[in-house]
Chains A and B, each alone.
Chain A
């Protein structure tokens, strides 16, 4: 775009008319093969998963996606209840995590005293680095009993008229516990991306708003949010993608039931959790193939979610480029 870019590209292009050297060819060739390898790898993943699921695909067809039930005895399998579980847990976790994450991002970019900014940013990043299996262990042994004894009954008595908050069961491992665990896991992802977005809002825009006499909140609502909107949406989608793919923490805390239940305080399962919890116990080739079919559905969703996020980021970047000009 600018003259700077032109010199950059010229420096990287091989000189025309100069004989290519062997070393250059070897490096460019092997690096090119590596880059091609990444493309091939993605293709290979898709192909191997489709291949593994083929038996189940040819047996059940597309009806598998909506069929509810997982019956290893009569060899009738379907993804319906797991799709439902994945949708409920991921959407609920996203709804819970987004406002908190935006609050953290605003705190870190606008409000925090200078001395707190660095440490709390580091703490949020540390929360993102805790392995899912550790969060799952904590959710199963520490969090689940607390939710079962205190939070579930309280929510039921306050919001029991909504079917989602039905009578609490005797299990700590239920859909609601999994939702809380997922919320904790996607919170730092959305927060750290949003923080960077808010920091990237040009300070002359912010100062302009404040100079016009807005309060800090009005500046955030009127200037920072609209500026960062596209990026925040992409961050939410990335968090959502993480939530639908999380197998271990959800598998440990959701209680593994294969029925659909509107009540959040009953056990359920998700696509990823179902796969993780059956890693040792596929009793037949068809069941194994059906598990891989679940993985295929998961793969399709995660790729779609990712491409959507990329598309939003690129569109927002283009619009910001126009705004800056």
Chain B
């Protein structure tokens, strides 16, 4: 292009220059936009790490909170062990409720349902996914708390409602990836449908299901709103019994950040650091599971 008559096409004129400038400008703006996102992420994570790291200690992880409002003796070492224990119990229970329910929904949608039912259930899951977390908190408040009082069970149910569409969606997606040849092969050798589904198809998707479940756990571990009305009026001390309201990490951060005491803010930052680290590791684990399972399904298909 550099030689010959074609060079006349390359000769810059005003119009071409303007188009090139517009192009450069827009490319620059896109770079800038990406920089803005990375900047905000960096600033948030850095603030949390810097303020939280100095507070992290063995006591912070193993000692419970003292009663607020000056009831506890001063200068007593205190941590958030009660919140860690409560989050563990509530998120664990929520996973136990949402996982089987979500997988069954996905099996129905993918293996049994007609096209119409499939899209109806899909729409329902999307609507459920769009219900604000705070509304789900009020739903469980009306369903359970009004009659039976706050409990970790109620909190776990609220979180399970949030997890359900996430787990079901991701399971539907991986079930759809399993090649039909596998189903046909199993049916052809005389396996009943239930054994085909549970024994042949589902095991192929374990990695994908676990990925979805891990991401859902990472998401609800940081949910505050549904727990405010279901598991926030807590007794002091570390408890594990799910029939009483248990403190959780996000609710603790929410309460501590509203306090006027700088020491409470410091604890809130440390709790935020633990929460973010947990979520980061969970997401990384989910990524790893996802690539592993995709390879496995590809091998089964190929």
Contact = CB atoms under 8 A, between A and B. Distances in A.
Given A106-B30, A248-B254, A123 B219 contact: no
A27 B23 CA distance: 57
A33 B253 CA distance: 38
8 contacts: A31-B108, A35-B104, A110-B30, A123-B38, A131-B276, A142-B43, A272-B132, A310-B123
A305 interface: yes
Contacts of B136: 45
Given A138-B44, A292-B142, A191 B192 contact: no
Contacts of B2: none
B139 A49 contact: yes
Contact of B161 (A7, A41, A124, A298): A41
Interface of B: 19-20, 22-23, 25-27, 29-34, 36-38, 40-41, 43-45, 47-48, 101, 104-105, 107-109, 111-113, 117, 120-121, 123-136, 138-139, 141-143, 161, 164-165, 168, 180, 183-184, 187, 192-195, 197-198, 218-219, 221-225, 228-229, 232-233, 250, 253-254, 257-258, 265, 268-269, 272, 275-276, 279-280, 283, 287
B23 to A, nearest CB: 4
Interface in A1-52: 7-8, 11-12, 14, 21, 23-24, 26-28, 30-35, 37-39, 41-42, 44-45, 48-49, 51-52
A179 interface: no
A127 interface: yes
Contacts of A131: 221-224, 250, 275-276, 279
A255 interface: no
Interface of A is mostly: helix
A134 B26 contact: no
Contacts of B164: 38, 41
A40 to B, nearest CB: 10
Given A34-B108, A302-B131, A27 B193 contact: yes
Interface stretch (A60-68, A156-164, A261-269, A273-281): A273-281
A141 interface: yes
Chain A to chain B: the 9 pairs with minimum beta-carbon distance, closest first = A131-B222, A103-B33, A245-B132, A31-B108, A34-B104, A306-B130, A215-B23, A23-B194, A48-B142
A58 interface: no
Nearest to B141: A52
B183 A247 contact: no
Nearest to A180: B40
B34 A129 contact: no
B132 A35 contact: no
B34 A103 contact: yes
Interface string A167-179: 0000000000000
Interface residues of A, number: 93
Contacts of A125: 283
Contacts of B25: 217
B41 A126 contact: yes
Interface string A81-116: 000000000000000000111111011101110000
A100 B279 contact: no
Contact of B34 (A32, A42, A52, A104): A104
A45 B160 CA distance: 13
A80 interface: no
A35 B39 CA distance: 42
Contacts of B269: 137
A66 B222 CA distance: 33
A30 B108 CA distance: 9
A133 B276 CA distance: 11
Contacts of B45: 130
A209 to B, nearest CB: 13
B34 A134 contact: no
Contacts of A306: 126-127, 129-130
A275 B134 contact: yes
Contacts of B44: 127, 130, 134-135, 138, 184
A32 B107 CA distance: 9
A31 B224 contact: no
Contacts of A307: 127
Contacts of A23: 192-195
B194 A24 contact: yes
B253 A137 contact: yes
Nearest to A33: B104
